[in-house]
Each structure stands twice: as C-alpha cells, then as structure tokens.
Structure 1
Amino acid sequence: MTQSQKHALIVGASRGLGLGLVETFLARGWRVTATQRRPSPALAGLGSEALRVETADIDDDPGVTALHDRLASERFDLIFVVAGVATLAHDPAHAVPRDVAAQVYLTNAISPIRFAEAFLDRLVPGGSIALMSSILGSVGLNETGGWETYRASKAALNTLARSFEIRHRAENVSVLILHPGWVRTEMGGAEADIDVATSVTGLADVIGAQLGRPGAHYLDYRGETLAW
C-alpha cells in the first residue's frame, strides 16, 4: 500500500450494494478489506491484490472481536457498515413475530453501532464511519407507511448514530448515515428506481466529498440532506 492509498473496510460485502461498493472503491484505487457472513463466490471472484476478504457476522460479538484482533495492524479511512436485513418487511408490525421483529432491530440498529464502537480505534484521523440507512428511516418523510419494522429499525439506527457521534464529538468523529436510493437488489426488488452501479457510484462520490467531515450527516446517494 502506498502512503497516499486510502483503505476502506466494507462490512457486508458478499452481494448487492456491499459487493458493488467493493468494486467501486477498488476501481478508484483504494485498498479494500471486505467482510462476508459466509463464503461469497462473487467477492472471491474479484481477485484483486488490493482486496482482503474476512468472514464475520455483525450480530456475533465474539466474531467481531476476533475480526478486530485479526485487523490489529490495519487502519481505515472509511469503515462502512452495509449489512442489514428486511425480514417480513411488508407485514405490518403487529403481524411480525416478536422474535423476528427483535432480530431486525438488532441487526439493523444495534449491531452496526456496536461494530462502529468496536472499530473506532481503527479509524484514521480524517476518516469516516458510514452506516447504510434508508430514506425509510426518516420519521418526517414517512407519508406512505409500509415497511413498518424495517422503517423502525432504520429510524433507530439514525437515532443511535447521532448519539454515537455526540458521545465521540470531542474526537471530531465523522458519521455518514447514507440512503442508497431504491435499488434493484434482492432487497429492493425488480421494480426499484436505480441499478446497483448508479447507487454505489453516487455513494462513493458522496463519501469522497464528505470524508472526515465532523458530525452526523444523513444524506442520500446524490449528496442531498434528508430530514430526520
């Protein structure tokens, strides 16, 4: 790695947006460490010398600790937690089994913040923590309903991300809370507005423009600020 080469940790990169972000940052000359929950042929197939692949599940605290130890010598300009779930997202909250709703909340809100806390000491000065949120996490913009437990989990993530930034404000921590757009992925569905390439190109541009900016910033893939 050259002294000027930036290094990204992309968490949840086996497919979809995470995989697209890995490809995009590699193409832009970054070094990338990518995590997968289980072996990903697509990720392995990238075959770049600038790519390191690790296996970890953000819901597994011992696994996250082990990853932190394995990456003891690494420092990152960007730590981007992409991983998330949308289990039974189309069912109203009262119809979702309690254990399923609880797991959506843990995976989408609690685990990303726990990961950010665990890896904050791996962030270089002038770097950013990024968290994959959604416009559906905006309480103010919720005028259509639907996706109730998913919406709630992303709204919780947004709130926790702001609290995380406030807790570390004396350290000038940069937290980017990002909406990728409605993307044609397994989660977004075939009717979504944009493809993965459009989303990840926009996200990478936004990150490049905002990298290291202190505070908590809720932005979409075009760089527009979203209402909380």
Structure 2
Amino acid sequence: MPEWTLVTGANRGLGLEFVRQRLAAGAPVVATCRQPGRATALNALAGEHPGHLKVLPLDAIDPRSRAELVRELPLAIGKGGRIDLLVNNAGVLHGGERFGHLDGDTLEHSLRTNAVAPLLLTQALAPWLAGGARVANLSSQLGSIAGTTRFGTPSYAISKAALNMATVQLAHALRERGVVVVALHPGWVRTNMGGGQASEAPDESVAGLLRVIDGLSASDSGQFLDWTGARLPW
C-alpha cells in the first residue's frame, strides 16, 4: 500500500504549496481544511490528480471533527495505508494586540489552534503513522523565547512556544516507533498571514522545508529548525 502525506490547513498558503510539491514528487496526499467546498485551488488540484489527492474536512480545534477525520481516513488511504509525512500547518495569527488590552479569548484560541490541536491530532493519527514517519509542526521563530527582543503578537508567539514543547513531547512519545517529530520555521513567507512584504516565496519556503524533512535522522527528533536546516534557539 502507498504511504501518504497528510497536510492540515491545505486550502491556501504554505499548506496548499505542500500539497502541490508532494503531488509533483509523486506522493499521494490527504489535504484537510475547514471548508473543502470553498477550497477552489485545492479542488482543482484534486481534479488534476484523481486518486492521488483526497480532500477531507477538518476543523483541527474541534474534537468531533478530529474524530470524524480518523473515521474517514481508512476510506481515503485504504485499509493498509499509512502516513509517512504529517504536516501540521493549520494555524492562526491574531493581529492588533496591544499590552493593556490583551484578551483571554484570543490567547485561548491561539493556544488551541496553534499548539493543542497539532498535539491532539498527531495523537489521534498515531496509529496510521508508518514506522520512520515524519511529523512536521509548522512553528515560527517568534516562538523562540531566547530570540524574543520586543513585545509583539503575544498570543501567536506564546502559542508557537507551546507548540515547540508539544513537539518535544511528541518526539519522546513516538521515538520507539522511529517517528521523527520536528518544529519548523518556514521563514517570513508571502502568504495571507505573512503579508506581501515578506522575504520568502511560498514555493521556495516549502521546497526548503521538504529538503530539511527529507534529510532528517532519528537524532533530529525534537529539534527546532528553520527552512534552511539551521537550528533555532528555544
């Protein structure tokens, strides 16, 4: 049976680019997003790659949605199918935060989306991870505590720091199966989240990230790396 790539938040930006590049490399892909019916570019890719791209609904912060994905997955990848690459890409960035006006709901939503959801989704999908599979958690250099030099985007930064810890925890939990789990900073990328002034194009970032993923060894599990393979400070 083929081994699949599964990408969350695959309807746009880096997620969509991961889908494109994995398909181009000949890998079958399960692409998830909250509203597949509105994912025009993703559905067009599915039409171009019949049988090789399955688009499934997932609201990563919703336990019922995660459970439904687990139920549907065997139908998508086949009874003996396995995931050899899980890309936890879905995330949120709340802009306009100012000290003195921080909101608990915003902080909680960021934590649930950017840290809790990838952790619980990886746990739920663990039975379908192939031996030696890779789990790539899309983090950010803004989640580096040592690298923080100013106040800014606190809910995003805090949630990405939490994702980094979740990555280390998952690395230990899955080590005996040879599964490698890493936190990856994609660079400052020209997406809806990164903005038009960002320095990296999505295709360049994802190509770099996939080179890093392809080059991972067991000793890299639990590391925090950027899209060039450089290690980042916690």
Cα distance, 1:212 vs structure 2: 6.0
Q: Is contact 1:56–1:67 with CA below 8 Å preserved after alignment? A: yes
CA distance in 2, matches of 1:51, 1:213: 31
Cα distance, 1:214 vs structure 2: 6.0
Q: Is contact 1:20–1:196 with CA below 8 Å preserved after alignment? A: yes
Q: Deviations over 1:112-132 (max 9, x none)?
A: 100011111110001111111
Q: Is contact 1:126–1:211 with CA below 8 Å preserved after alignment? A: no
Matched, 1:59 2:61: yes
Matched, 1:83 2:114: no
Cα distance, 1:171 vs structure 2: 3.3
Cα distance, 1:215 vs structure 2: 2.3
Alignment coverage as a number of residue pairs: 224
Distance change in 2, residues 1:67/1:22 (3 Å): same
Q: Deviations over 1:151-170 (max 9, x none)?
A: 11100110122122223333
Matched, 1:41 2:29: no
Q: CA RMSD in A?
A: 1.6
Q: Quick one: which amino acid aligns to residue 7 of structure 1? A: W
Question: Which residue does 1:206 correspond to in 2?
Answer: 212
Cα distance, 1:30 vs structure 2: 0.7
Distance change in 2, residues 1:150/1:29 (3 Å): same
Question: Which residue does 1:126 correspond to in 2?
Answer: 132
- SS at 2:136 equivalent: strand
Cα distance, 1:92 vs structure 2: 3.0
- SS at 1:170 equivalent: helix
Distance change in 2, residues 1:216/1:29 (3 Å): same
Q: Deviations over 1:7-35 (max 9, x none)?
A: 20011100000001100111111111100
- 5+ residue gaps, structure 1: none
Match of 1:157 among 143, 163, 176: 163
CA distance in 1, matches of 2:99, 2:128: 37
Cα distance, 1:62 vs structure 2: 1.1
Q: Quick one: which amino acid aligns to residue 210 of structure 1? A: L
Identity %: 36
Q: Quick one: which amino acid aligns to residue 83 of structure 1? A: A
Q: Deviations over 1:56-102 (max 9, x none)?
A: 110111111111111133311001110000023x4135423211211
CA distance in 1, matches of 2:216, 2:158: 26
Q: Which is richer in helix?
A: 2
Q: Deviations over 1:177-204 (max 9, x none)?
A: 1111000111001111111111111111
Question: Which residue does 2:23 correspond to in 1?
Answer: 26
> More displaced, 213-222 or 152-161?
213-222
> More displaced, 53-62 or 204-213?
204-213
CA distance in 1, matches of 2:170, 2:25: 29
Distance change in 2, residues 1:168/1:76 (3 Å): closer
Q: Is contact 1:173–1:214 with CA below 8 Å preserved after alignment? A: no
Q: Is contact 2:134–2:181 with CA below 8 Å preserved after alignment? A: yes
Q: Quick one: which amino acid aligns to residue 32 of structure 2? A: T
- 5+ residue gaps, structure 2: none
